[in-house]
Amino acid sequence: MVLISPSILSADFGNLRQEIKKLDDSGADWIHLDVMDGHFVPNLTFGPQVIKSLRSATNLIFDTHLMVNNPDKMIPWFADAGADIITIHYEACDDVLKTLSSIRKLGKKAGISLRPQTDSKVLENILDYTDLILIMTVNPGFGGQSFMSDQLEKISSIRKMIGNRKIWLEVDGGINHTTAGLCINAGADVLVAGSSVFKTPDYAKNILSLKNKEE
Ligand code: DX5
Ligand code: ZN
Cβ of 194 closer than 6 Å to ligand 1, yes or no, is yes
Residue 86 near residue 111, CB atoms below 8 Å? yes
Cβ of 172 closer than 6 Å to ligand 1, yes or no, is yes
| Confidence at residue 106, expressed as pLDDT on a 0 to 100 scale | 98
What is the domain range of residue 148?
Answer: 3-214
| Confidence at residue 153, expressed as pLDDT on a 0 to 100 scale | 98
The one-letter amino acid code at 82 reads G
Residue 34 near residue 9, CB atoms below 8 Å? yes
Closest ligand to C-alpha of residue 43 is 1
Give me the residues paired with residue 64 across strands.
33, 86
77-93: b (≥16 Cβ within 10 Å) or e = ebbebbbebbbbbbbbb
CA–CA separation, 120 and 161 (whole Å):
9
- Domains in the chain, number: 1
pTM across the whole model: 0.98
CA of 141, closest atom in ligand 1:
6
CA–CA separation, 97 and 33 (whole Å):
23
Q: What is the DSSP string of the chain?
A: --EEEEBGGGS-GGGHHHHHHHHHHTT-SEEEEEEEBSSSSS-B---HHHHHHHGGG--SEEEEEEE-S-HHHHHHHHHHHT-SEEEEEGGG-SSHHHHHHHHHHTT-EEEEEE-TTS-GGGGTTTGGG-SEEEEESS-TT-SSPPP-GGGHHHHHHHHHHHTTS--EEEEESS--TTHHHHHHHHT--EEEESHHHHSSS-HHHHHHHHHTT--
Cβ of 7 closer than 6 Å to ligand 1, yes or no, is yes
Distance 37 CA to ligand 1 centre (A): 15
Closest ligand to C-alpha of residue 142 is 1
Q: What is the pLDDT along the chain (215 residues), one digit of tens a residue?
A: 999 999 999 999 999 999 999 999 999 999 999 999 999 999 999 999 999 999 999 999 999 999 999 999 999 999 999 999 999 999 999 999 999 999 999 999 999 999 999 999 999 999 999 999 999 999 999 999 999 999 999 999 999 999 999 999 999 999 999 999 999 999 999 999 999 999 999 999 999 999 987 65
Residue 165 near residue 131, CB atoms below 8 Å? no
CA–CA separation, 67 and 174 (whole Å):
17
Residue 55 near residue 81, CB atoms below 8 Å? yes
What CATH number does the domain containing 121 carry? 3.20.20.70
